[in-house]
Amino acid sequence: MTFVAFSILICIKCEMMKGLILQLTPITKAMADESRLRVLSALSLGELCLCQIVALLELAPSTVSRHMGVLVGAELVVTRKAGKWTYYTLNNTRQPGIIKHTLKWLEKVREDDPVWLADQKKLAVICEQDPSELCEITYGKSE
């Protein structure tokens, strides 16, 4: 291999790494918060509306909305609007390898986590409630 060919190969590899790093940055930011990890774990069980996530995390709706924005921005989560309701699910449609591996890693890590085990029990109760009632509790009015 000539020096020129080797240099071109190195440049191509550097560009690929740069792309990977740019893709990895929002994902690592999203994964750097316990609340967002809890949301990702909860969404692995299925779609949730914002009020259900607020009830799970016991945080202010504005704080949860900010967390959800980070997860959506990292393409880990997608939204669906239904009237006034916003629903969230894991991004299963367009999963670059890095996102797929991140979610698989989270699955393994949380298996014996006491917070996750408690969240599962709490989610079972939350999901039995009517979302409009949760919304009324969260915002003080029916949405």
Q: What is the pLDDT of residues 73-124, one digit of tens each?
A: 988 999 999 988 899 999 877 656 777 777 788 888 788 889 999 999 999 9
∠ CA 93-38-108, rounded to 5°: 70
Number of domains in the chain: 1
Closest by CA to 130, choosing from 115, 142, 113, 122, is 142
Residue 16 lies in a domain: no
CATH of the domain at 31: 1.10.10.10
The answer, as to whether pTM is greater than 0.95, is no
Q: What is the pLDDT of residues 2-61, one digit of tens each?
A: 554 544 555 555 555 556 666 778 888 888 999 999 999 999 899 999 999 999 999 999
Residue 17 lies in a domain: no
Residue 35 lies in a domain: yes
Residue 92: give the domain boundaries: 26-139
Residue 11 lies in a domain: no
* CA 130 – CA 133 distance, rounded (Å): 5
Residue 97 lies in a domain: yes
> Would you state the structure tokens that stand for residue 107, as one six-digit string?
């699955």
Residue 117 lies in a domain: yes
Residue 1 lies in a domain: no
